[in-house]
Amino acid sequence: MAIKTVDLKIYIYEGTVGSYVTTDLKYEIQKEILTGDTNVVFEIAELVRDYLKTDFNNDYLSQAVWVTTVATILDENDIVYTYGSPVSDNYLAVNGFGYFEDEINPELQRHALMTANTIYLPEGVAGKLPIFAEGVGKVTIDSTDTEITDSGNTNQKIQYVTIPADSSTIQVYDTDDTTLLKTINVNNVCEPKFTPYKVTFINKYGAFQDLYFFKKSTESFNVTDEKFKRNTIENATVTYPKYGGQEERYNTNARKSISLNTGFINEDSNSTIEELFLSESVWIRQDSSTLPIVPTSKSLTLKTSVNDKLANYTIDFEFAFNKINNVR
């Protein structure tokens, strides 16, 4: 019998792999094999993405889900194909992305979930290092080891190791605890004049990554409104008050913006700047609150040590909410 149709069920859930129940069935897709083809391709990334959380309140929680696909193969008579059907596969999904150069379905890093090998932190301030628990046995910060365990639960697949204040070197090891996978240098910046701002974004690995802006910051806001002309004549006296304007505003609101400067950073941090520009979820820590922002800078000239010696990037952001609360 010839294969005609593939029916794909997609279960999306949290917890441990295989622990899905009936209510975790989110999609059921059916496709026919085209004449001359020998396989069926299902693109499920955008479907799964709808069930990935992007919540952040300075809490650094793992954002991952399990995806189990069950493919049932039917023959030309719509009878379940006996051999090799159904086919079940499990995937761990995070809200990351690959570059064109990474080709189709790239396997991204399975240890430290950041591209750059440099972190900048204010002096006396601790930081966070995102790691993928399945691929890491320990993290050594200076001479102190942090053992990493993986229970298989989605709530700890991405873990955030605390970087103690004024640390200098981070080493990430494989699950054998001896194979060095990545070395990260920590630069502790003394900034006596300006107030550093911490911006957190979801990077290409689907992890929260911090980037501090150390230098000059400028806040502004843009007001929007509408106007109408009203009749101010009082019928009883056929007069109008001079203190009553003919024009009135309505639907008045404003959007606040902020322009931030990184201060001098090295060329290795270009990858961090790129991923910030491409991230769809960005937050700023301001006045002890975590607030959503959107990068409004749309172009960037990447600086190199050969051309520019040291690099300072200025990036503009807009707060992702109206100044006057109109949440309904």
Which pTM does this prediction carry?
Answer: 0.90
Predicted local distance difference test score (pLDDT) of residue 84? 64
In angstroms, the CA 216 to CA 145 distance is 36
Predicted local distance difference test score (pLDDT) of residue 123? 97
* CA torsion through residues 51, 56, 57, 61, sign: positive
Q: Is the preceding omega at residue 86 within 30 degrees of 0, hence cis?
A: yes
Low pLDDT (below 70) residues in the chain: 1, 77-84
Coil, strand, or helix at residue 274?
A: helix
Predicted local distance difference test score (pLDDT) of residue 36? 76
Q: Is the preceding omega at residue 164 within 30 degrees of 0, hence cis?
A: no
Asked whether the beta carbons of 160 and 128 are under 8 A apart, the reply is yes
- Token pair listed for 77: 């008579």
**CA-closest candidate to residue 265, choices 88, 109, 116, 66:** 116
